[in-house]
């Protein structure tokens, strides 16, 4: 009887690690895709304009609700917190903002939000309106 010190075994393809890697790739793909979905904002009754134009997709859509609450991407902000958030956005001079205010919002609330944006250094501000 001959003894072998180094027996050769046939290689096996393990499927479980491959399934784990595919699940990780799927999770990363879903997370990245969710971040690419644009912020559509709230359902507001926008004022109408005969000269309304389609603007490019902004970095932030600032919604001003009927009660004067400022909402950005699902978070409520006071004006000082909004200004701080915009100022810490990297380069606020290149940040694009669209302000969407309900048509019943007092004009002073709209101006206060614009002032907070300008104090943060944002200069590219659009105003949302629906076309006639």
pLDDT band at 38 (very low <50, low <70, confident <90, very high): low
Residue 74's domain spans which residues? 48-131
Q: Per-residue pLDDT tens for 74-101?
A: 888 998 998 898 888 777 777 888 888 8
* pLDDT tens string 13-35: 888 888 999 999 999 988 887 76
12, part of any domain: no
Q: Quote the number of domains for the chain.
A: 1
- Quick: pLDDT tens for 51-65: 665 655 567 888 888
Phi-psi group of 124: left, alpha or beta (phi > 0 → left; psi -120 to 50 → alpha; rest → beta): beta
25 domain residue, yes or no: no
Whether 37 is covered by a domain: the verdict is: no
What's the whole-model pTM score? 0.57
Domain-embedded: residue 59: yes
- Residue 97, Cβ density class (10 Å: 0-12 exposed, 13-18 middle, ≥19 buried): buried
Q: What is the CATH number of the domain that holds 73?
A: 3.30.420.270
């Amino acid at each position: 009887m001959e003894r072998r010190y180094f027996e050769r075994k046939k290689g096996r393809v393990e499927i479980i690690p491959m399934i784990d890697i595919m699940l990780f790739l799927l999770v990363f793909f879903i997370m990245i895709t969710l971040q690419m979905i644009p912020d559509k904002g709230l359902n507001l009754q926008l004022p109408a304009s005969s000269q309304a134009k389609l603007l490019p997709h902004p970095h932030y859509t600032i919604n001003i609700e009927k009660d004067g609450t400022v909402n950005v991407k699902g978070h409520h902000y006071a004006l000082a917190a909004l200004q701080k958030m915009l100022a810490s956005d990297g380069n606020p001079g290149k940040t694009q903002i669209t302000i969407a205010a309900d048509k019943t919002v007092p004009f002073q609330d709209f101006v206060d939000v614009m002032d907070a944006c300008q104090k943060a250094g944002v200069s590219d501000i659009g105003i949302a309106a629906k076309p006639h």
